[in-house]
């Protein structure tokens, strides 16, 4: 391949320039980024190096810690952080405790500091007074379940007991690589290293508390969804950086495939048609690896392999159940809805297949590995499990059904890789992981991982938003949760019924509680901007110094003063689906203050959540009584009260808000039979995470609620369609020029 005409345009990962940005996107994703990482947050954190260290390795600065059962809190003199919880904290946990003469436990008890210094009543508080005298103490044996939570900015490892009380936890942040505007990448090896470091530190804390590491009987994994990775089958090493779920570089590529859907369509089986109607426009017996001979990667003609062809590809197809599909029952269907009917999700920059196609077209290493049958593709769960179970030494190549349902490559009915979609995106079946349920014994942590939990079973895997649904115990049909993080994600349990949305909501897999269990489905609506709007007020507008000031500022006025803020920084998602919408603040007067804008920002998240839930109620025929919530923004009492008022339903906020991590822990415990937890029987979880639940009830009249919603909808109409068709045409033309350039270079 040394004579390949494009060889010069690909720089080896080790030799990537570190002084200036690449001239061409094809080598913009080195494993070690040449670009500076984001500046650290002004919000105090344990990682910042500016805070006082805990008095011993096991100490935690979490507000939920109790003297009777956990770490000793820091004193007033030691404390220099914010006076209220951060609204940007990923899981809704304050970064520092509130201090008083006495320390308030999240469970409602008070214990004075002297008690902790004298030995406390057990746990880490008790051990802190004894550890200097008894360094060789015998560790106790317990029964705990662990959870790896790999999010967008950090990895956590949390150990839970049988009531979902947190025994210990640790969090490790990793770098975000932002090569160009709209691009977002991560170093795959940094994801693995952060997981390893987090597990080590958490187990150190567990042992300092007096518990043996053998007390952890199993672990679950939850992860940021849609983020896409490629690595080598032969070396186990990543071939390029991961493309993160919110990366927008593929906008023009999405339009390219939208045209293909309109002009050529995709093959669909009879079972893919919800109404049994097929558009008969042609049938093909061949599996073509490439969108067409014109558009195949790097300008070469797509390989054509018949279904009876042997070799590695043929065997892979047979193994994955992709062979044996002939003319019978296969037709062509055109238009974007053809894809939605099969996968439940639209063609979008978010989902994995389009990111994978971009990697194949722009990274020489990925393209060559694909051609040589040396490529492995996966989402973050696949990559973590592969490394946890040995990597190149027999590591598992698997993906759970919830993550697979976000790839644009599976049928929601069969929960298997769908041959027509592989043909459409030009992908070899051999690169795909095996699809597994969310709760089963997959394997054990391998010695290669250098983990204190070597040999511990891996028994639960689930995407982060589905994990939050399970962690909030929304296990019955008609229950819903909303996670308020960077964005907001509403999931509504539709039971074993696959509900198709007529209003642009996503149909997805909620979870599958075992290999033989029936899948549970959900409707999902995503709101692009939630906590990130608060960050925008802090970092770009300088209206607040800390996110924790939002409640005080927004609560200083009785209403929004007629101001509405449509936070369409990158368009509007469900149920509006307008990528041309722009961020809009409307209703300003000479009397408008920063407090009105702050309040309108919190309301914007609530209005969009209400719009999603209104659509869900219409399509499901179920009236929502209570919305369960988690995420950083739920630290705001005002935001939760606004949500109850605008939504017209109760809002339930648990005291322990690590719902995402708890969801994967519940599924892992279900698989290994721990605690009697059974996700298929919700009554077995009645005592899990029930202490100190906050309920917010509507406090305004129905008439006032409808008036406010009407004003919001007027503001949304003003924000829609701001970006012009000429801008879209320019982006599309730029992509076509790029494609033509590659073809010209390849033909020379």
Pick from 565, 591, 485: which is nearest to 246 by CA? 485
d(CA 370, CA 303): 12
- 100, pLDDT greater than 50: no
**163 in a domain, yes or no?**
no
- 265, pLDDT greater than 80: yes
pLDDT on residue 731:
56
One domain for residues 34 and 102? yes
From 80, 108, 137, the end of a domain falls on: 137
Does residue 614 or residue 136 have the better pLDDT? 614
From 119, 137, 155, the end of a domain falls on: 137
pLDDT digits (tens, 9 = 90+) for 34-65: 334 444 433 333 333 444 443 333 333 333 33
**267 in a domain, yes or no?**
yes
pLDDT on residue 528:
84
One domain for residues 491 and 343? no
pLDDT on residue 17:
39
- Rounded alpha-carbon distances, angstroms, from residue 139 to 67, 145, 207: 20, 17, 7
Q: Which has the minimum average pLDDT: 117-126, 137-146, 352-361?
A: 117-126
**145 in a domain, yes or no?**
no
pLDDT on residue 73:
37
Does residue 723 or residue 670 have the better pLDDT? 670
d(CA 73, CA 54): 9
From 99, 115, 137, the end of a domain falls on: 137
Bond into 88 cis (ω within 30) = no
Q: What is the mean pLDDT of residues 704-721?
A: 94
pLDDT on residue 574:
81
Residue with tokens 């103490």: 137
Residue 140 confidence class, pLDDT cut points 50, 70, 90? confident
One domain for residues 649 and 516? yes
Q: Is residue 277 within 8 Å of residue 268, measured between CB atoms?
A: no
d(CA 263, CA 334): 7
Residue 433 confidence class, pLDDT cut points 50, 70, 90? very high
One domain for residues 497 and 584? yes
Q: What is the mean pLDDT of residues 448-464?
A: 94
**162 in a domain, yes or no?**
no
- 114, pLDDT greater than 70: no
Q: What is the mean pLDDT of residues 560-573?
A: 91
**451 in a domain, yes or no?**
no
Helix and strand totals (H; E) in the chain: 19, 27
One domain for residues 484 and 604? yes
Pick from 319, 357, 345: which is nearest to 435 by CA? 319
Ramachandran region of residue 494, left (φ > 0), alpha (ψ -120 to 50) or beta? alpha
Reduced 3-state DSSP string for 699-718: CCCHHHHHHHHHHHHHHHHH
Q: What is the mean pLDDT of residues 617-627?
A: 87
One domain for residues 247 and 341? yes
**391 in a domain, yes or no?**
no
Does residue 573 or residue 653 have the better pLDDT? 653
Does residue 332 or residue 601 have the better pLDDT? 601
Reduced 3-state DSSP string for 370-420: HHCCCEEEEEHHHHHHHHHCCCCCCCCCEEEHHHHCCCCCECCCCCCECHH
**Token code pair at residue 36:** 């500076």
Give the strand pairing for 266-269 and 330-333.
antiparallel
Q: What angle do CA 148, 197, 48 make, to 5 degrees?
A: 105
Q: Into how many domains does the chain fold?
A: 3
In this structure, what CATH number is given to the domain that contains residue 606?
A: 3.30.420.40
- 627, pLDDT greater than 70: yes
Does residue 209 or residue 8 have the better pLDDT? 209
Residue 410 confidence class, pLDDT cut points 50, 70, 90? very high
d(CA 530, CA 605): 6
**667 in a domain, yes or no?**
no
One domain for residues 411 and 487? no
Residue 428 confidence class, pLDDT cut points 50, 70, 90? very high
Helix (H, G, I), strand (E, B) or coil at 543: coil
- 562, pLDDT greater than 70: yes
Residue 745 exposed, middle or buried by CB count within 10 Å (0-12, 13-18, 19+): middle
Q: Is residue 92 within 8 Å of residue 661, measured between CB atoms?
A: no
Residue 737 confidence class, pLDDT cut points 50, 70, 90? low
pLDDT on residue 405:
95
In this prediction the pTM is: 0.73
**Token code pair at residue 737:** 């020029």
- 9, pLDDT greater than 60: no
> Mean of the per-residue pLDDT values for the chain?
77
Q: What angle do CA 383, 388, 393 make, to 5 degrees?
A: 95
One domain for residues 115 and 34? yes
Concatenate the DSSP letters of all residues of 43-89 into one string: S--GGGS-SPPPSSTT----TT--TTTSPPPPPTTT--S-SS--SS-
Q: Which has the minimum average pLDDT: 40-54, 178-192, 662-676, 725-739?
A: 40-54
One domain for residues 361 and 495? no
Q: How far is CA 351 from the centre of its chain?
A: 11
**Token code pair at residue 687:** 């005592």
d(CA 315, CA 332): 26
**264 in a domain, yes or no?**
yes
Residue 622 confidence class, pLDDT cut points 50, 70, 90? confident
One domain for residues 132 and 237? no
- 303, pLDDT greater than 90: no
Q: What is the mean pLDDT of residues 672-698?
A: 89
- 153, pLDDT greater than 90: no
One domain for residues 364 and 481? no
Does residue 716 or residue 286 have the better pLDDT? 716
pLDDT on residue 736:
55
One domain for residues 532 and 646? yes
Q: How large a percentage of the chain has pLDDT more than 90?
A: 52
d(CA 573, CA 576): 6
Q: Is residue 681 within 8 Å of residue 517, measured between CB atoms?
A: no
Find the domain containing 314 and state its range: 230-375+406-433
């Amino acid at each position: 391949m040394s004579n390949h005409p494009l060889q010069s345009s690909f720089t080896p990962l080790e030799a990537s320039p570190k002084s200036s940005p690449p001239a061409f996107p094809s080598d913009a994703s080195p494993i070690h980024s040449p670009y500076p990482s984001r500046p650290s947050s002004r919000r105090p954190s344990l990682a910042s190096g500016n805070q006082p260290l805990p008095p011993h390795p096991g100490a935690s600065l979490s507000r939920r810690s109790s003297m009777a059962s956990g770490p000793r809190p820091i004193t007033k003199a030691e404390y220099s952080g914010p006076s209220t919880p951060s609204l940007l904290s990923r899981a809704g946990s304050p970064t520092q405790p509130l201090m008083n003469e006495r320390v308030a436990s999240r469970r409602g008890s008070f214990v004075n500091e002297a008690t902790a210094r004298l030995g406390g009543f057990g746990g880490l508080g008790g051990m802190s007074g004894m550890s200097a005298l008894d360094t060789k103490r015998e560790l106790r044996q317990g029964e705990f379940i662990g959870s790896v939570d790999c999010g967008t900015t950090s990895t956590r490892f949390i150990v839970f007991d049988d009531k979902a009380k947190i025994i210990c936890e640790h969090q490790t942040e990793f770098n975000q690589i932002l090569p160009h505007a709209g691009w977002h990448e991560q170093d795959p090896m940094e994801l693995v290293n952060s997981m390893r470091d987090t597990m080590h530190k958490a187990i150190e804390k567990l042992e300092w508390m007096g518990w043996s590491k053998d007390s952890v009987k199993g672990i679950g994994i939850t992860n940021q969804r849609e983020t896409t990775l490629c690595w080598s089958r032969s070396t186990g090493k990543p071939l390029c950086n991961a493309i993160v779920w919110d990366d927008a570089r593929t906008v023009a590529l999405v339009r390219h495939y939208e045209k293909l859907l309109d002009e050529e369509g995709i093959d669909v089986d009879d079972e893919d048609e919800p109404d049994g109607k097929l558009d008969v426009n042609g049938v093909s017996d061949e599996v073509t690896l490439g969108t067409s001979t014109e558009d195949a990667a790097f300008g070469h003609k797509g390989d054509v392999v018949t279904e009876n062809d042997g070799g590695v590809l043929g065997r892979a197809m047979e193994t994955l159940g992709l062979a044996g599909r002939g003319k019978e029952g296969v037709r062509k269907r055109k238009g974007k809805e053809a894809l939605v009917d099969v996968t439940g999700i639209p063609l979008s920059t978010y989902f994995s297949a389009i990111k994978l196609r971009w990697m194949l077209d722009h990274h020489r290493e990925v393209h060559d590995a694909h051609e040589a049958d040396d490529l492995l593709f996966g989402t973050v769960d696949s990559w973590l499990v592969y490394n946890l179970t040995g990597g190149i030494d027999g590591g598992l190549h698997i993906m759970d059904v919830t993550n697979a349902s976000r790839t644009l490559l599976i049928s929601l009915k069969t929960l298997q890789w769908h041959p027509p979609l592989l043909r459409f995106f030009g992908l070899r079946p051999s690169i795909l992981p095996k699809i597994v349920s969310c709760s089963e014994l997959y394997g054990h942590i391998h010695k290669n991982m250098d983990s204190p939990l070597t040999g511990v079973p891996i028994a639960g895997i689930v995407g982060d938003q589905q994990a939050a649904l399970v962690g909030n115990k929304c296990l019955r049909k008609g229950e819903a949760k909303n996670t308020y993080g960077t964005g907001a994600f509403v999931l509504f349990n539709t039971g074993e019924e696959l509900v198709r949305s007529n209003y642009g909501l996503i149909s997805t897999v909620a979870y599958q509680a075992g290999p033989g269990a029936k899948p549970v489905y959900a409707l999902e609506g995503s709101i692009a901007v939630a906590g990130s709007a608060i960050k925008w007020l802090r970092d770009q507008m300088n209206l607040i110094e800390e996110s924790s000031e939002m409640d005080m500022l927004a609560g200083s006025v009785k209403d929004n003063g007629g101001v509405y803020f449509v936070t369409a920084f990158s368009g509007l998602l469900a149920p509006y689906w307008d990528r041309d919408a722009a961020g809009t603040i409307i209703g300003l007067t000479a009397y408008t203050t920063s407090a009105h804008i702050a309040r309108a920002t919190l309301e914007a998240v609530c209005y969009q959540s209400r719009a999603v839930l209104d659509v869900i109620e219409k399509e499901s025929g179920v009236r929502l009584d209570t919305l369960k919530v988690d995420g950083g923004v739920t630290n705001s009492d005002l935001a939760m009260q606004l949500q109850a008022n605008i939504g017209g339903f109760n809002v339930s906020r648990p005291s322990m808000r690590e719902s995402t991590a708890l969801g994967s822990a519940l599924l892992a415990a279900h698989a290994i039979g721990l605690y009697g937890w059974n996700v298929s029987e919700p009554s077995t979880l009645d005592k899990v995470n029930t202490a100190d639940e906050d309920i917010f009830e509507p406090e305004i009249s129905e008439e006032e609620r409808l008036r406010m919603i009407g004003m919001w909808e007027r503001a949304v109409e003003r924000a829609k369609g701001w970006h012009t068709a000429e801008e879209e045409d320019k982006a599309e033309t730029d992509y076509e020029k790029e494609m033509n350039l590659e073809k010209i270079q390849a033909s020379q």
